[in-house]
Amino acid sequence: GNQKATHLENSQGKKSQHAEEAIFYMNCRAAYLTVLKSSLENIKSKEQLNLVLQLAGRNPSQKTINKYWTSQTTSLNFDDFCAILKKEKPATKNELLEAFGKIDTDKAGYISHDELCKILTTRGDKMTWEEVTSITKQADFNCNGKLDYNKFCALYLSTSEQCCRAARNRLETDPRLRQQHLGNQTENFPEGVTLPVPKPSPRVSRKTDHKLAKGDSRAPSRPSSAQSSKASTSTTVSVGASSSRSTKPIIEPDTMKEWQCAQSKGCFYLEENGEIISHKYRLHLPQRSALCITIKPFSIPQAGGNSCHWLSVDTALFILKENESQENLQLVSFTELQNKEMFGWRGELGSGVYWLLPFTTGCRLRKEKTQITGEAKLVWRDEDGELALTNEFRAALLDIFETIDLDGNGLLSLEEYNFFELRTSGEKCDQEAWAVCKENFEMKKNELTRQGFLDLNLMEANDRDGDPWDLWVTLLSLGYNKALEMTEACPFVIDICAERCKPRIKAISLEAGGSQLSRAVCRSVVHKGEAKVLDGSENIFIYTYRSSSRITSVIENKSENKVIIHVNNEQSKNCLNNRGLTVFAVEVAPKSMMVSQHVMALNEQEEWIYSCVHSLV
């Protein structure tokens, strides 16, 4: 019993230590990235060093700055900065009060302004008269020519904390940094260890604010890439052009003539923070059966014969078996067979409930860099002054209808409509509100028709007397730009065919993949990929999975300590990755694994070479 208790205490102690270390590094990075664009960028001056230390809650003297920035110093990297913060602890309230107490020999709690001015302008880092006067003018802690140093210390500490909090908030809300600033590993921490990373902000409600927040477009940050590497391993893979790939069907049509099929549509949506959300599905099989499951981008006929922007986006499905609960899901397989843009899996599954988690690497579904000049017109007034939808907007709405009509029956059920509502306004329509819709808009079998959907959007324009604000909130949240092009979303369609039973598929939620999908991706790569031990480090493994269209690498850290892995793709050719950087670094928590990167061809019509070096920093 005593041994168990001791083991439990040791385990909890390690978890606490890991959590504290993770929070420390997050605060380091938050301060660093407030001043610098990336944690791969170096501090290049004393002034920068002073500023980042202040943003980390320190108040360094000139003596402290000179200690770390000598005449020989030309730059300091992120690791150097972290080391400085470990040595230079922030001042505590007791330390501050003790320092003031040495001046206030009467222990009155006050220091006269004259005495304060004399000390601050003649000792230590000497301040100017103007700087001292700016302090003594503050009414919060000054009265009758005296400084209340208890109040001053409280304000000093709260201001210091506000600086740290502002830096963290900036990191957490940055559209490009928020999900990547800790190497995407927060979901892989040992059980019981969580980091204070907030959930994504809810969508802007189209009933309220008239300002759409635009995200910072700066490059994603990464941990330091110190040049001295303790261990490394390299991987090189050459992949032929897509024209040389097989176009053989995933399963022969004749085989499935008597099979029973089910279908559902869905969509990947790109969030402001770079995160990708999608529908998630539950599949029910009444009995054991051979199956064929496929996913591909959903092609909507475009006006003028234009091709869909999203058809080049890669898609996949991860199949997980539900056991006792939704939280306890077991990876069965994933769609690795390919025929053009379609990915599929064929095999046999037992009766029961399965989860289908759609996945895309994010290599091709990413924030649009091209700036759109001008804005498409959504509504106009006819000769009688009545509002009407423009032809362009009407066409976009019909495309949206095709996308959100998940079962493809040409009508929107309340359930399907609510996925649309949750995405665009964050609200749901209840039965009572649906009944009101039925009274005002065309429905069939209690489901909204295409015309009813168009009229509903026209009513929204009329509610604002022609102001298209609400309509644009809807369009932007569905991945459209101001030219009415869907560039930040990818509709897809899932088909399931079973030999011995009727499969049933149902969309359950619209959300980010979360820890279940992250674990499934990592496990699939570990199971199917090639494993390499990082040379010189027996506890770090690099797994590389290759398909005909993508390469995914996973880092597994079996050690008891956090590690920083430097990733270099400079020798790769004709490649793009989901991180958007050629060189970066990631942190991997103890006893965990995480995706290092997903890589695809920049130009599929040409050969591409993946050449990557993973190094332990």
Domain ranges, residue 242: 232-246+517-616
Q: Where are the alpha helices (DSSP H) in 357-504?
A: 391-404, 414-424, 431-440, 450-463, 469-477
For the domain that residue 594 is a member of, what is the CATH number? 2.60.40
Domain count, the chain: 5
For residues 106 and 172, which has the higher predicted lDDT (pLDDT)?
106
Q: Are 580 and 608 members of one domain?
A: yes
The residue whose two tokens read 């500023």 is: 51
Contact 295, 342 (CB under 8 A): yes
- Single out the residue in 153, 175, 197 at which a domain terminates: 175
- pLDDT grade for 218, boundaries at 50, 70 and 90: very low
- Is 265 found in the same domain as 364? yes
Q: Among 101-105, 409-413, 605-609, which stretch is predicted with the lowest mean pLDDT?
A: 101-105
The predicted model gives 553-569 an average pLDDT of: 93
Residue 228 pLDDT: 43
Boundary (domain end) residue, out of 47, 62, 87: 87
Give Cα separations from 93 to 90, 148, 152, 156, 272 (angstroms): 10, 14, 10, 9, 40
Question: How many Å apart are CA 269 and CA 474, to the nearest integer?
Answer: 13
CA separation for the pair 494, 579 (Å, rounded): 27
Residues 267 and 321 in one domain: yes
Q: Strands of 146-148's sheet, edge to edge?
A: 110-112, 146-148, 142-143
Within 13 Å of residue 276, how many CA atoms lie on the same side as its CB? 25
Handedness of CA 154, 157, 162, 168 (dihedral sign): negative
For residue 515, give the H/E element and its range. Answer: helix 514-528
Characterize the bridge pairing of strands 146-148 and 550-557.
unpaired
pLDDT at 179 over 90: no
Per the CB < 8 A criterion, the answer to whether 567 and 585 are in contact is yes
- pLDDT: is 228 or 300 the higher one? 300
Which of 56-70, 406-420, 499-513 is the least confident region? 56-70
Q: Are residues 552 and 478 in the same domain?
A: no
Q: What are the DSSP calls for 106-131, one per residue? A: T--SEEEHHHHHHHHHHSSSPPPHHH
Q: Give domain status of residue 9, yes or no.
A: yes
Does one domain contain both 69 and 98?
A: no
One domain for residues 362 and 383: no
Q: Are residues 241 and 165 in the same domain?
A: no
Across 542-559, average pLDDT: 94
- CATH number for the domain that contains residue 78: 1.10.238
Do 79 and 34 lie in one domain? The reply is yes
Would you say residue 319 lies in a domain? yes
The domain boundary, picked from 60, 87, 114, lies at 87
Strands across the sheet containing 583-588? 231-239, 608-616, 563-568, 583-588
Query: Over 60: is that where the pLDDT of 613 sits?
Result: yes
The tally of CA atoms less than 13 A away on the side-chain side of residue 127 is 14
Lowest mean pLDDT among 84-98, 189-203, 377-391: 189-203
Q: How confident is the model over 368-379, as a mean pLDDT?
A: 83
Residue 167 lies in a domain: yes
Please report the pLDDT score of residue 190 as a whole number.
Answer: 35
Q: Could you read off the pLDDT of 17-32 as tens digits, one per residue? A: 666 777 787 788 888 8
Considering only residues 487 and 3, tell me which one the structure prediction assigns the higher pLDDT. Answer: 487
Residue 170 in this model has a pLDDT that exceeds 90:
no
Considering the chain, what percentage of its residues have pLDDT values greater than 70? 84
* 215, pLDDT greater than 50: no
The residue-averaged pLDDT of 362-370 equals 85
604: its two tokens: 């599929």
Query: Could you tell me if 76 and 69 are in contact, meaning their C-beta atoms sit under 8 angstroms apart?
Result: yes
pLDDT given at position 192: 33
pLDDT confidence of residue 270: 93
Q: Are residues 265 and 364 in the same domain?
A: yes
Domain presence at residue 254: no
Residue 225 falls inside a structural domain: no
What values do phi and psi take at 27, rounded to 5? -65, -40
Provide the CATH number for the domain around residue 284: 2.60.120.380
- Look at residue 215 and tell me if it is in a domain: no
Establish if 201 belongs to a structural domain: no
Contact 226, 617 (CB under 8 A): yes
118 and 68 housed in the same domain: no
Tokens, residue 485: 């092009």
Domain CATH code at residue 476: 1.10.238.10
521: helix, coil or strand?
helix
Model pTM above 0.85: no
Pick from 97-106, 194-203, 327-336, 445-454 the range whose average pLDDT is largest.
445-454
**pLDDT value at position 17?**
64
CA distance 217 to 169: 16
Q: Is the pLDDT of residue 589 over 70?
A: yes
Q: Are residues 528 and 575 located together in one domain of the fold?
A: yes
Q: Which residue has the higher pLDDT, 216 or 143?
A: 143
- Residue 109 vs residue 174, higher pLDDT: 109
Nearest to 40 by CA among 216, 185, 221: 221
- pLDDT in the model for residue 103: 84
pLDDT at 307 over 70: no
Does the residue 609 lie in any domain?
yes
Indicate whether 453 and 523 sit together in one domain: no
3-class secondary structure, 360: coil
Please tell me the predicted confidence (pLDDT) of residue 72: 85
Structure-token pair, residue 282: 């539950």
Q: What angle do CA 136, 140, 141 make, to 5 degrees?
A: 55
Length of the chain as a residue count:
617
Q: Which segment of 183-187, 285-289, 412-416, 592-596 scores lowest on mean pLDDT?
A: 183-187
Task: Say which residue, 197 or 518, is predicted with more confidence.
Answer: 518
Per-residue pLDDT of 144-160, as tens digits, reads 788 888 888 888 888 87
Kindly give, in sequence order, each residue whose CB lies less than 8 Å from that of residue 143, ignoring residues fewer than 6 positions away. Answer: none
Q: What is the mean pLDDT of residues 342-368?
A: 93
Whole-angstrom distance between the N-terminal and C-terminal Cα of the chain? 41
Higher pLDDT, 130 or 186: 130
